[in-house]
Amino acid sequence: MLENPVNIKSLSGIVTATPTPIKNGSVDVESVRDLARYLVAQGTSALAPIGGTGEYVSLGDSQKLEMVRCTVEAVDGAVPTIAGLIAPGLGEAIDAGKRILRAGADGLLVTTPFYVRPTQEGIVEYFKALSDTLDADLVLYEFPYRTGVSLTAETVQKLGETTRIMAMKACNADTGLQMRVIEAAGDKISILSGDEDVYPLHIAAGARGGLIASSCIVPRIWHKITALVLANELNQALELHAKIRPFLKLLFSEHNPVPLKAALKILGRPCGEPLLPLLNASAETEAQLSKMLPEILALEASMVA
């Protein structure tokens, strides 16, 4: 954990969601260190292990804690480690959250409950209870495609006013709703886009950055897109974003992080195989990645501040 408490509310720029490399049942420490240190050197604002990209739901408790400890040790205080917490209900969330914080995480990236379909007020009370129990700042993770519940702008505003939620990863496909959320709560919490496909538009609307899995591979491009939008060069940002959209489509053509792990293996940064019930990327996906990656890496290498 960082010596000085991390003010997650000030999060901006690119936060990288990292995959979990499992080798012979345990976390591959060297792979974690290699990727984490590379991302820190590329200017990531924070790392987010054991979220969806980190296959939280397929990891054992000991693997989750080992991944958090390895990440914290690898970044060595350079950036915060904001660990995922994906739970269907309060009891499991509190127990897991305490363990993850003891492992050294600086904050928690917490999904809304899934399987059950709580009301908006139920979600507010859920995060109030977490805030009262867990000694950490929270990042709200809204992902209705997975949880089945979409948050209103008014709910996000209330969460920013009454809980320890200091930031939000917003993955709602409703762009109009995203804009209303930024208008209602953007002055209270740091809103980060989780939708790589429309990321420049979210920044233009007032999001402060993004929590993005593909920044494992092209961090400089994402930093450049962000900088262009903030410099009022939206057209240039959209042009650059358009160049990587076919690659992004391929990265999410199978369940995340299946193509991401395949791409990292091709690049010589193996992060292990996907964990069951996920399987390895199809031969077609691997072939397309091998064909597309050289051009994408050339574009990445051409990026300057």
What are 62-106's pLDDT values in tens digits?
A: 999 999 999 999 999 999 999 999 999 999 999 999 999 999 999
At 6 the pLDDT is 44
Position 305 pLDDT exceeds 60: no
Position 61 pLDDT exceeds 80: yes
Mean pLDDT of 187-199: 95
- CATH number of the structural domain 8-231: 3.20.20.70
Residues 246-259 have pLDDT tens digits of: 999 999 999 999 99
Annotated catalytic sites, by residue?
141, 169
Q: H/E/C letters for each residue in 209-232? A: EEEECHHHCCHHHHHHHHHHHHCC
Question: Which tokens sit at 193?
Answer: 């886009």
pLDDT band at 174; cut points 50, 70, 90:
confident
Position 114 pLDDT exceeds 70: yes
Distance, in Å, from the CA atom of 92 to the CA atom of 101, rounded to the nearest integer, reads: 14
Position 201 pLDDT exceeds 50: yes
pLDDT band at 44; cut points 50, 70, 90:
very high
Please count the CA atoms within 13 angstroms of the CA of 126 that sit on its side-chain side.
23
81 is in an annotated binding site: no
Distance, in Å, from the CA atom of 60 to the CA atom of 285, rounded to the nearest integer, reads: 28
User: Which residue, chain included where needed, has tokens 């309060």?
Assistant: 90
pLDDT band at 3; cut points 50, 70, 90:
very low
pLDDT band at 7; cut points 50, 70, 90:
low
Question: Model's pTM, two decimal places?
Answer: 0.95
Residues 127-138 have pLDDT tens digits of: 999 999 999 999
At 159 the pLDDT is 98
At 175 the pLDDT is 86
Residue of 257, 259, 228 lying closest to 242 (CA atoms): 228
pLDDT band at 154; cut points 50, 70, 90:
very high
Position 304 pLDDT exceeds 80: no
